[in-house]
Chains A and B, each alone.
Chain A
Amino acid sequence: MGRGSVITVYVPGDAGASSLGADRVARALETEAGKRGQQVRIVRNGSRGMYWLEPLVEVVTAAGRVAYGPVTVAQLPKLLDAGMLDGAAHELRLGDMNRHPWLASQQRLTGARLGVVDPASLDDYLAHGGYAGLQNALGMLPAEIVRAVTDSGLRGRGGAAFPTGIKWQTVHDQRAGQKYIACNADEGDSGTFSDRMLMEGDPFALIEGMTIAGIAVGATQGYIYLRIEYPHAARALARALQAARQRGYLGSDILGSGRRFDVAVRLGAGAYICGEETSMLESLEGRRGEVRVRPPLPAIKGLFGQPTVVNNVVTLATVPVVLARGAAFYQDFGVGRSRGTIPLQLAGNVKQGGLVERAFGLTVNQLVYDYGGGSATGRPVRAVQIGGPLGAYLPAARFDTPLEYEALAANNALLGHGGVVVFDDRVDMARMARYALEFCAVESCGKCTPCRIGSARGVELVDRIIAGRADATRNGAQQADLALLDELCDTMFNGSLCGLGGMTPFPVRSALQYFREDFLPGARAPNSIAAGPAASVKMG
């Protein structure tokens, strides 16, 4: 390293990395390097999704990028003195991240650029294969683009797993003066953060995917409905949208093709229900986010009454891969009817949490132990919840289940948006069942009775069951309450208008099915992590 030359250093600007001190590390690096007479160019990249190593700092050396992590402000002076900017040895040195087994064993297609590129740089995006999909799409007929997406086998990654190509075909076939692409970026499921990582770490991929969608179905305007809890993503998207417009990747004449498409970001306002597509459309129209009765489908009568493609961030950010490398390439990954790759998000009580993108088919065991390294607390893993607050809990005995749509459905579980939350043996599953109902009560839009009232009654019922555990003589009444809870789940499942009320029974029933002992008199409780007194949150 010659003094005077500028050294490029990557310090993630990802919200998760920032939450662990990455911003402070970036500032300190600037200062400390300056003190040593060394100029550094700090790139705020996205995260590679290895959160136990964040802040993960990478230095560009003659031998390639060399990583160190987790780096703290306190350690930084010593790291620099040890020669970090030359890629020198240190106990925090991780070397070339592409060779790190945690990453090398993954199949990153959608998230290929995460942590690699500068999310603020369109040139960096182009240098890493960006906009190759759009270039191809511009040379195809709209129907051919739709066919490619259909043939790829891509299904909606937001949770519903509906075939993307079929949705696009429906919108494509509508005759309308105005059509829309609405990207659902209201990633509200606990345990999920892949949308956030993509928007922060590779925002152009989403914009490219939306542009391709617009050209395919004849839509000229796209909206990204972004949750207010994601300010970092909002900033990254605003920057990227501006750059794309300036360079003609958005606007009235995309790359001289005569096609028109633009994207606007609309912020949500803290309502989980707005992740449901029809309530998201209501919210985009400036109203209360109450669900709409279907039919009509949004593909026929969606945003402002016009045909609308509603897709999740991951789905849309995957479209450029399909168009750049072909439907067959993408379709080649996966198992059965779950084609392609899925960005799984490993979260909660786990030693090595983060983003694992692989072809469908990885088992829970492989995810939790091979990638996750077991629980963060070092205690036995008792349960995972898959697919967010409306997803089922699975016990360790079922951890051989592959994480793909059909295998999970066979276990009365669902993949949802791909979040997997790990719990150790202190979890009190009756409390988690109560929480599922409480969450439903807090977030219910109130339009249908099974969800609005059922959830509130459910909380009361589980409270009675929890209180009854201390009373061994109550066994008969306890069994009756458990039967009543199951019946309530039946009503919510069959009678709710949308997935919030309709799927809250998944966590409740799976807790009852696999962890029944937690609901019975004499159940263990005292040390459990979820045993705090019920918080006084006002019920909806």
Chain B
Amino acid sequence: MNDDAERIRRCVADAVQKFAAEPGPLLEILHAVQDQLGCVPPAAVAPLSDALNLSRAEVHGVISFYHHFRQHAPGRYLVQLCRAEACQSMNARALEEFVRGRLRIDFGETTRDGRVTLEAVYCLGNCACAPAMMVNGELHGRVTPERVSELAREWGVAP
């Protein structure tokens, strides 16, 4: 636990040092922290607010405003499924149902073994190749249930 707190503190300090000279650096710092730790843990709020002379409420307010910043690290595979109109026109609703059933989790949840986290996103800019999905930053187009099943096997999700 102490190790964790120390690791978080050091990560925040590094990020602050890197970006503090820039104007309005909080988002950049949060990105750096999340890139490093997989999330912006609650324990990062106090050192951030101290370093930037902001209230804890301000820092927490920014973290919680943006969908991208999360307070807990995701599973090894972060699966972001697009729910926007262009994907819906290509049957994304049915795909959603399939993915949730296949992974046995809902949006915003992680499989119990910590392997896969499922997130809803609204447009990945791949609208001419709908439905679209992103897995750990890799974009997939014209996604079918069969393709998801294949990938789920790669992710080690029990059938």
Q: Which residues of A contact B (CB under 8 A)?
A: 15-16, 18-20, 51-52, 54, 187-193, 195-196, 228-232, 266-272, 283-290, 304, 345-350, 353-354, 376, 385, 389, 419, 421-424, 427, 432, 435, 439, 442-443, 445, 529-533, 535-538
Contact = CB atoms under 8 A, between A and B. Distances in A.
Nearest to B93: A532
Nearest to B67: A270
A163 to B, nearest CB: 27
A271 B65 contact: yes
B122 A419 contact: no
A271 B121 CA distance: 10
A443 to B, nearest CB: 7
B116 interface: no
A289 B107 contact: no
Closest 4 CB pairs of A and B: A353-B128, A190-B84, A19-B141, A286-B26
A19 B89 contact: no
B93 A531 contact: yes
Contact of A196 (B66, B83, B125): B125
Nearest to A348: B89
A229 B66 CA distance: 13
B41 to A, nearest CB: 16
Interface in B10-59: 23-28, 30-31, 58
B97 A287 contact: no
B120 to A, nearest CB: 6
B129 A353 contact: yes
B130 interface: yes
Contact of A289 (B66, B126, B127, B134): B66
Q: Give the size category of B's interface with A.
A: 35 or more
B83 to A, nearest CB: 7
Interface in B91-132: 91, 93-94, 96-97, 106-108, 120-130, 132
Nearest to B130: A348
Given A19-B129, A287-B26, A529 B89 contact: yes
B159 to A, nearest CB: 22
B123 A188 contact: yes
26 contacts: A16-B139, A16-B141, A18-B139, A190-B127, A192-B125, A228-B68, A229-B123, A266-B28, A268-B27, A270-B66, A284-B27, A285-B23, A286-B25, A287-B26, A287-B62, A304-B23, A304-B24, A349-B90, A353-B127, A421-B89, A439-B84, A532-B94, A533-B97, A535-B107, A537-B83, A538-B108
B149 interface: no
Interface of B: 23-28, 30-31, 58, 61-62, 65-69, 83-91, 93-94, 96-97, 106-108, 120-130, 132, 134, 137-142
Nearest to A436: B85
Nearest to B108: A538
B122 A421 contact: no
B106 A530 contact: no
Contacts of B125: 15-16, 187, 192-193, 195-196, 229-230
Contact of A347 (B24, B93, B128): B128
Contact of B129 (A51, A191, A196): A51
A424 B123 CA distance: 20
Given A20-B129, A190-B84, A304-B23, A289 B65 contact: yes
B90 to A, nearest CB: 6
B109 to A, nearest CB: 10
Contact of A190 (B87, B137, B138): B87
B27 to A, nearest CB: 5
Contacts of B30: 269
Given A269-B30, A272-B122, A347-B86, A16 B23 contact: no
Nearest to A285: B24
Given A16-B128, A529-B93, A269 B85 contact: no
Contacts of B124: 229
B129 A389 contact: no
Contacts of A533: 97
A533 B94 CA distance: 9
Nearest to B119: A270
A537 B93 contact: no
Contacts of B68: 228, 268-271
Given A18-B138, A445-B65, 13 more contacts: A20-B129, A20-B141, A190-B87, A229-B124, A269-B67, A269-B69, A348-B86, A353-B128, A376-B90, A385-B85, A422-B89, A532-B93, A535-B83
A15 B89 contact: no
B102 to A, nearest CB: 15
Give the residue among B30, B88, B120, B132 with the most A Cβ atoms within 10 A. B88
Nearest to A18: B139
Contacts of B96: 532, 535
Contacts of B139: 15-16, 18-19, 232
A20 B144 CA distance: 12
Contacts of A432: 85, 88
Contacts of A231: 137
Given A284-B24, A532-B93, A229 B88 contact: no
A188 B122 contact: yes
Contacts of B27: 266-269, 283-284, 286
A350 B142 CA distance: 12
A354 B107 CA distance: 29
B93 A354 contact: no
